[in-house]
Structure formats: structure tokens, C-alpha cells
């Protein structure tokens, strides 16, 4: 009896040991089976003595301020500069979309993103003074957070909703409308460091010109 009571007194420690052993995953066990590290081939030095204090200081408040420095202000539609860019066309099955890009827009030289299964048609351009511009036709209706909605407008019979997405600082903006039953998205993301970049205005300019046949 005395031995049993002594066991109970020590039981928590025993359970901890059992619990830790029981929680060990196969992956944890296999971790010890890793082969030796590859030989460094570059300037990487993974020294054990590397200390956080050795790192260059980073002012997170400064980077945050930098990331949120784009102020999203929606001017009245009548005040927006009118697009004089080149007319563009996107085809997605029976749907043909015609729209106009802002002046000075060029083809985005970067490779297209991965082929997502929900994308029916995709194209991308670059307005170097502002942002990249993407026009996407999807086969599923996108879901956006109501909290991110910043504007709703109608143009050429299409009702567009604009969202301040991503970091919610005006640097990534998406608009979408259902055109002839197909979800069409116009998006823009700030390119470069121009503090006067206005992705929301650019998205609106493109969306306003969009017609279908």
C-alpha cells in the first residue's frame, strides 16, 4: 500500500513522460534520420553563434508605415482622367469583352501566373507609373469580404463592386461584375514605389469601359 501511494505521488511525472513519448510523431522520429547537410555552396553561413543581436536592426513600425503609405481616396467619377489607351479584347468562350486600358500601358513582361482551374481567360498589363492591371474571366463567382468593399458603380449595364484587398492599404484593389453570367475581375497592384499610384482609380477606369458582345 505504501509503495502504491508513493507511486501515486510520483504519478504526474510518470504521466508526463508517457505523454511526451505518446505525442511523438513518426515525422519527429524520422527527423533524426536526415542526411548530413548539403555542403555550403555560397555565402550561407549557418553559424550556431548567429545571434539575433547580430542582425541589422529593423524598424517594423517604419516598414508598416511604408506598406500603408498609399492612401485610398476615391474622387468623383467626373474628376477621373479619361482613358485614352489602346482598346483591348478578351475572349472567354462565347463571351467577348472589349475595354480600354490607360495610356502608357504596356504588356507585362513577366510570365503569367500558374494555370488555376477556375480561370477561363487571363491577361495582364503594366502601367509603370501605377500598377499592374489584370483582367480575369473565371468560372466561379469570387467571394470578397464585405469589410473590404469600397465602392459600387454601374457602367454599360454592369454592376461593379470594388474591394480594397490584400493589406487593405489601397495597394491591391479588385473589382468584379457578372457579365453575361460570367464573373469578370479587374485587379491592380502597386508597381514600384510611386507614392501617387492609384490602383483603385485605374481599376475603375478599365471596368468603366468594359462592354460585352
Answer for the pair 85, 103: CB distance below 8 angstroms, yes or no. Answer: yes
Residue number, 51 or 78, with CB nearest to another protein: 51
Minimum CB separation of residue 148 from another protein in Å reads 6
Give dist(CA 85, CA 162) in Å, integer.
22
Q: Mark out the alpha helices in 24-145 (DSSP H runs).
A: 26-31, 60-67
Question: Is residue 208 classed as helix, strand or coil in its secondary structure?
Answer: helix
Minimum CB separation of residue 187 from another protein in Å reads 3
Residue number, 40 or 76, with CB nearest to another protein: 40
Residue number, 147 or 213, with CB nearest to another protein: 147
Residue 95: how many other CB atoms lie within 10 Å: 17
Closest CA to 85 of 72, 98, 74: 98
Minimum CB separation of residue 17 from another protein in Å reads 11
Minimum CB separation of residue 12 from another protein in Å reads 4
Answer for the pair 151, 135: CB distance below 8 angstroms, yes or no. Answer: no
Residue number, 119 or 150, with CB nearest to another protein: 119
Minimum CB separation of residue 68 from another protein in Å reads 9
Q: Is 45 exposed, middle or buried (0-12, 13-18, 19+ CB in 10 A)?
A: exposed
Answer for the pair 175, 156: CB distance below 8 angstroms, yes or no. Answer: no
Residue number, 122 or 153, with CB nearest to another protein: 122
Q: What's the distance, CA 114 to chain centroid?
A: 14
DSSP 8-state assignment for residue 45 = -
Give dist(CA 152, CA 200) in Å, integer.
12
Residue number, 77 or 118, with CB nearest to another protein: 118
Sign of the C-alpha dihedral, residues 149, 153, 154, 155?
negative
Minimum CB separation of residue 76 from another protein in Å reads 26
Amino acid at each position: 500500500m505504501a509503495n502504491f501511494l508513493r507511486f501515486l505521488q510520483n504519478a504526474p511525472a510518470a504521466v508526463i513522460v508517457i505523454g511526451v513519448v505518446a505525442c511523438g510523431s513518426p515525422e519527429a522520429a524520422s527527423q533524426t534520420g536526415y542526411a548530413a547537410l548539403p555542403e555550403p555552396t555560397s555565402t550561407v553561413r549557418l553559424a550556431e553563434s548567429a545571434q539575433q543581436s547580430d542582425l541589422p536592426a529593423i524598424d517594423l513600425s517604419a516598414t508598416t508605415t511604408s506598406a500603408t503609405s498609399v492612401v485610398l481616396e476615391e474622387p468623383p467619377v467626373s474628376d477621373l482622367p479619361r482613358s485614352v489607351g489602346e482598346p483591348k479584347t478578351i475572349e472567354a468562350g462565347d463571351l467577348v469583352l472589349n475595354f480600354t486600358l490607360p495610356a502608357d500601358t504596356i504588356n507585362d513582361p513577366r510570365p503569367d501566373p500558374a494555370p488555376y482551374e477556375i480561370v477561363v481567360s487571363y491577361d495582364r498589363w503594366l502601367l509603370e507609373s501605377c500598377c499592374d492591371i489584370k483582367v480575369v474571366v473565371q468560372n466561379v463567382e469570387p467571394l470578397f469580404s464585405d469589410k473590404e468593399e469600397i465602392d459600387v458603380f454601374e457602367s454599360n449595364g454592369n454592376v461593379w463592386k470594388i474591394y480594397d484587398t490584400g493589406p487593405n492599404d489601397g495597394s491591391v484593389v479588385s473589382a468584379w461584375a457578372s457579365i453575361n453570367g460570367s464573373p469578370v475581375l479587374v485587379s491592380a497592384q502597386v508597381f514600384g514605389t510611386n507614392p501617387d499610384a492609384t490602383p483603385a482609380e485605374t481599376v475603375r477606369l478599365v471596368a468603366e469601359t468594359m462592354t460585352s458582345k
